[in-house]
Amino acid sequence: MVLNSAYLSVLISLISFALSYEILSTATQANSTITPDSSNTAYPLSYCGFNLIRANYKSTPLDLSPKSHIGSRFLQETRENEWSSLRIHIEYMDLNIPNSQIDYIKRIVKGSVKWYENTLKVKRLTEKLKLESLEDCVEVKVPQKDKTEGEDADIILYFTAGRKYPSIFGYASNCATDAETVQPIAGILYIDTSSLSQLSDEDLYSTAIHEMAHLLGFDPELFPNFTKPDGTKYSTDEMFINSND
């Protein structure tokens, strides 16, 4: 997914969009952590919380190879040969918001997920995606059924919402990657509803799509694994722009 050129070319095209929404200050990134807030005070939309969350949570590589091939993994056996539309399974977790907002928030999330499913293609898993050894995905517990039964999906998205971090609008991050391909296979999307009334549908969709770009691969931790169509890795000079030039 993230590391193959067909997927990567589309994701890279989102980078300028993602950067336009990234409003993190240097001081905040370097010195702060996100602190939960128990008050119900409404705050203006401030910034994306990806960098602050990523500083405290790292992704876990999971072995998805068939257990009958221990010690010898074959990509063609764990993934299909052809490119197909990305499949994202949504799990709604810890929706600490009024009932009147739940359907609205779910519509935003489903719409954002559908946008990516219509945009990105992957070599799908040949078996159900199981997160067998993953206990937590950032701030949520992984349901037992996702570890034992699995899902017909390429990535499992845990969505949560509330008024926990009113100084940010939201964040998203992957929490597990395929050990073979290094592509994200599980992640979390959090939306803070403290400023929900201040935002239009377009603002919400745009922000959810932006946050999901982090989950799907717009993540400095994964940049060194991005590959070109010929299978070679991108160099640092190709991946980053020197602002002093």
Domains and CATH numbers, the chain: 5-34+57-66+75-232 (3.10.170.20)
Q: How confident is the model over 171-198, as pLDDT tens digits?
A: 999 999 999 889 999 999 999 888 777 7
Q: Within a 10 A sphere around the Cβ of 9, how many other Cβ atoms?
A: 12
**pLDDT, tens digit, for every residue of 55-106?**
888 899 999 876 644 444 444 478 888 989 999 999 999 898 889 889 999 9
Listed range (33-42, 49-58, 199-208, 216-225) with the worst mean pLDDT: 33-42
Q: Which of 43-57, 146-160, 228-242 has the lowest mean pLDDT?
A: 43-57
**30-34, 153-157, 203-207, 217-221: range with lowest mean pLDDT:** 30-34
pLDDT value at residue 187: 96
* pLDDT tens-digit map of 115-159: 999 999 999 999 999 999 999 999 999 999 999 999 999 999 999
What pLDDT was estimated at residue 244? 65
- Contact assessment for residue 140 and residue 158, using Cβ atoms and an 8 Å cutoff: yes
Average pLDDT over residues 153-174: 89
pLDDT recorded at residue 67: 60
Q: What is the pTM of this model?
A: 0.78
